[in-house]
Structure 1
Amino acid sequence: MAGWALCMTLVLAVLAEAVGESRYDKFLRQHVDHPQTSVLAAHRYCETMLARRRVTAPGRACKPSNTFVHAPAEELVAACTQTPDEAGFHSTPTAMGLTACRLRGRDTRPPCTYRARQLQHHVRVACVNGLPVHLAGTHAPTQ
């Protein structure tokens, strides 16, 4: 199953490049919302943003989770200058506001409904040529 998901991710990445969207542009589309978009109903933020940013779409499986960072893209680009961790990921030096969206329930077929959590976390990214191209996770600031 994991091999199939990896294969599909690679195919989608190739298709995205074919239509002119770079990996950095895709990262921005899927993960950066600065300033944070206001929606009529705050609890619908995830569904609204995931549809608006073409992360979810009719006929496609619901994405299990997605994180939107509410900081300027430049701050995420700056993370790429930080020393990578043992896994090769770079972390932002400061915590940033973000919305973590998690799929409700186990059904991955649309309509997709999500639970949103507002957090202040550091963001871990994979970088290529000095630009973030994958959000690898987040972690709470150390106390």
Structure 2
Amino acid sequence: MAGWPLLVLLALAALAPGGCYETRYEKFLRQHLDHPGPAGPPGGRYCSTLLQRRRVNGPGRPCKPVNTFVHAPAAELLALCAPRHGPALRTTAAALDVTACRVTGGSVYHPCAYRAARRHQRVEVACEDGRPVHLSRTL
């Protein structure tokens, strides 16, 4: 019966806010996918708001210096990682709409201020088990 209390503790931890496990693919989607993207040209407020809403930045955490959002359907990036075997890094054949967010001057901790640049570039991702898990770079 020693295992019963441990099972109850694990169940409670899983139900607690923030206690849920996030896969690398889910983290990738949270941090780098925003489809269809901003309606107009993105400004620094777009980056600051989205990075805070997506829990990339927040109170007590340092500002992420650079983050890129890809404005394409998740299925397009999933297709890039199929088949499961092959090179770990894959690059889109066509350019996609992306927004590059760079932290401005003195922003180190929340509230973070960003400069946004909309671009049309190819995207390179690292794949794991047939899913994108890391945005390597844009070309």
Q: Aligned residues: percent identity?
A: 53
* CA distance in 2 between partners of 1:62 and 1:43 (Å): 13
Who wins on radius of gyration, i.e. which is larger? 2
Question: Does residue 35 of the first structure (1) align with residue 33 of the second (2)?
Answer: no
Stretch deviating more after TM superposition (48-57 or 104-113): 104-113
Q: Which runs of 5+ in 1 are unaligned?
A: 1-17
Q: What is the Cα-based RMSD across aligned positions, in Å?
A: 1.9
- 2:89·2:124 contact (CA, 8 Å) conserved in 1? yes
Corresponding residue for 1:95? 95
Q: How many residues align?
A: 118
Matches within 5 A, 1:40-79: 42-79=43-80
- 1:78·1:92 contact (CA, 8 Å) conserved in 2? no
* CA distance in 2 between partners of 1:35 and 1:65 (Å): 20
Give the deviation of 1:115 after TM superposition: 0.6
Q: Which runs of 5+ in 2 are unaligned?
A: 1-18
Change (3 A) 1:64 1:50: same
- Opposite residue 93 of structure 2, the aligned amino acid is P
Corresponding residue for 2:126? 126
* CA distance in 2 between partners of 1:81 and 1:93 (Å): 14
TM-score, with length taken from structure 1: 0.75
- 1:79·1:93 contact (CA, 8 Å) conserved in 2? no
SS at structure 2 position matched to 1:55: coil
